[in-house]
Amino acid sequence: MEASAGNLAAVVIWGGFALAFVFGVVANKTNFCTMGALSDIVNMGHWGRMRMWLLAIAVAIAGATALLYTGQVDLTKAIAQRPTLAWLSLLVGGLAFGVGMTLSGGCANKNLVRVGGGSVRSLVVLVFLGIASYMTLKGLFGQWRASWLDPVAINLAALGWKDQSLATAVAKVTGLPAASALLATAAVLVIALLAFVFKDRRFRSNPTQIIGAVVIGALVVGGWYVSGHLGFGENPETLEQGYFATNSRTVESMSFVGPLAYGLELLMLWTDKSLHVTFGIASLLGVVLGSAAYAVASKHFRWEGFASLTDLRNQLVGAVLMGFGGVTALGCTIGQGLTGVSTLAIGSFIAVAGIVAGSVATLKFMLWREERSA
Taking only the tens place, the pLDDT of each residue in 314-367 is: 999 999 999 999 999 999 999 999 999 999 999 999 999 999 999 999 999 999
Q: How far apart are CA 167 and CA 99, in angstroms?
A: 30
- Model confidence at 2, pLDDT cuts 50, 70, 90, reads very low
Report CA-CA distances (Å) from 27 to 35, 63, 290, 370: 13, 20, 9, 30
Within 8 A by CB and 6+ apart from 164, the residues are: 80, 81, 82, 83, 84, 85, 156, 345, 346, 347
State the alpha helices, DSSP H only, in the chain: 2-30, 34-44, 48-69, 87-103, 108-116, 120-138, 140-144, 166-174, 178-198, 201-204, 207-225, 257-268, 279-297, 309-328, 341-342, 346-373
- Give residue 352's pLDDT: 98
| Position 3 pLDDT exceeds 50 | no
Interval 270-315: pLDDT, tens = 999 999 999 999 999 999 999 999 999 999 999 999 989 999 999 9
> What's the DSSP call for residue 242?
E
Within 8 A by CB and 6+ apart from 32, the residues are: 26, 49, 52, 53, 56, 109, 113, 212, 213, 216
Interval 121-173: pLDDT, tens = 999 999 999 999 999 999 999 999 999 999 999 999 999 999 999 999 999 99
- Whole-structure pTM value: 0.96
Interval 55-83: pLDDT, tens = 999 999 999 999 999 999 999 999 999 99
**Residue spans per domain, the chain:** 2-373
Report CA-CA distances (Å) from 349 to 111, 250, 343: 23, 21, 10
Interval 232-265: pLDDT, tens = 998 777 778 999 999 999 999 999 999 999 999 9
- Give residue 1's pLDDT: 42
Mean pLDDT of 37-44: 96
| Position 114 pLDDT exceeds 80 | yes
- Give residue 282's pLDDT: 98
Q: How far apart are CA 97 and CA 319, in angstroms?
A: 9
- Give residue 234's pLDDT: 85
